[in-house]
Amino acid sequence: MTFLRTALPLLAALAIPALAQAQEAPRPELLNRLTDCRAMTDPAARLSCYDTAVEALDAAERQGEVVVVDRAQVRESRRALFGFEMPSLPAFGRVTAAEDEVSSVETTLTRASRGGDGKWVFRLADGSTWRQIDSESVFFSNREGTEVRVRRASMGSFMMTLGSSRAVRVRRDQ
């Protein structure tokens, strides 16, 4: 037992940097070529290197081989995809600041109806559809415009609050 108490924190400390490295995607070669130009000391050679690298990067972006997104676009995409399990994509998987992580979404109810299993299906103003997955009764104002908050809960689940109702466990369908 003492061995486990000592070994587990050590194993976790060793595994976390390895996991972070595995999830970190390499920079695109076109970007590396551009940044490598800084190392050139001859001004004419450096300018020529920049011109060539920028033209290649610009052409790749125009052809859709490289996609450039800013932090605001990443935040909006993360918000729109909130509730879905996504593959680890470098643009959407890497979070550099705590405010970039989406932990909840606030919107309004468009409509709610009961499915064939008697559980609620919620359609929200942001275009998402969520399905009740617990079997508890939930009482809420089933009116368009009712305030809704969906938040992350434990073990990858999500909880929805409609107005002042109790939280209901949900999963995202659309």
As averages over each run of 10 residues, the pLDDT of the chain (174 residues) reads 40 42 67 90 93 91 83 74 60 52 83 88 90 86 88 84 88 82
Using CA atoms, how far apart are residues 72 and 91, in angstroms rounded to an integer? 12
User: Are 128 and 150 found together in one domain?
Assistant: yes
Helix or strand holding residue 127 (H, E): none
- Residue 124 included in any domain: yes
Q: Domain tally for the chain?
A: 2
- pTM here? 0.53
Using CA atoms, how far apart are residues 89 and 92, in angstroms rounded to an integer? 5
Sign, CA torsion 133/135/138/142: positive
User: Are 74 and 114 found together in one domain?
Assistant: no
User: Are 163 and 129 found together in one domain?
Assistant: yes
pLDDT digits (tens, 9 = 90+) for 129-145: 989 888 888 888 888 98
User: Residue for token digits 């299993």?
Assistant: 117
pLDDT digits (tens, 9 = 90+) for 60-80: 888 988 887 777 777 777 767
User: Are 82 and 116 found together in one domain?
Assistant: no
User: Are 82 and 123 found together in one domain?
Assistant: no
